[in-house]
Amino acid sequence: MIKVSPSILSADFANLGAEVKKVVDAGAEYVHIDVMDGTFVPEITLGAGIVKAIRPVTDAVFDVHLMVEHPDTQIESFIKAGADIITFHVEAAKHPHRVIQAIHAAGCKAGISLNPGTPVAMVEELLADVDLVLVMSVNPGYGGQKFIPASLSKLRRLRAALDACGSQAELEVDGGVTEANAQEIIEAGATVLVAGSAVYKSKDIKATIKALHGRN
Whether residue 109 contacts residue 132, with contact meaning beta carbons closer than 8 Å, is answered with yes
As a residue count, the chain comes to 216
Catalytic status, residue 84: no
d(CA 56, CA 41): 29
Catalytic status, residue 174: yes
* Contacts of residue 103, Cβ cutoff 8 Å, sequence gap at least 6: 75, 79, 86, 109, 110
Where are the chain's structural domains? 3-212
Extract the annotated binding site.
7, 32, 34, 65, 141-144, 174-176, 196-197
* Contacts of residue 189, Cβ cutoff 8 Å, sequence gap at least 6: 155, 156, 158, 159, 160, 171
β-pair partners for 63: 32, 85
The tens place of each residue's pLDDT in the chain, 216 residues long, gives: 899 999 999 999 999 999 999 999 999 999 999 999 989 998 899 999 999 999 999 999 999 999 999 999 999 999 999 999 999 999 999 999 999 999 999 999 999 999 999 999 999 999 999 999 999 999 987 667 799 999 999 999 999 999 999 999 999 999 999 999 999 999 999 999 999 999 999 999 999 999 999 864
Q: Which listed residue (37, 63, 72, 174) is catalytic?
A: 174
3-212 CATH fold = TIM Barrel (3.20.20)
Rounded to an integer, what is the distance from CA 64 to the centroid of its chain? 7
Q: Which listed residue (34, 37, 63, 131) is catalytic?
A: 34
Q: Determine the pLDDT at residue 73.
A: 94
Q: Residue 52 burial by CB count (10 A; 0-12/13-18/19+): exposed, middle or buried?
A: middle
What is the spatial order of strands in the sheet that 192-195 belongs to? 3-6, 192-195, 170-174, 132-136, 109-114, 85-89, 61-67, 30-36
Extract the annotated binding site for a divalent metal cation.
32, 34, 65, 174
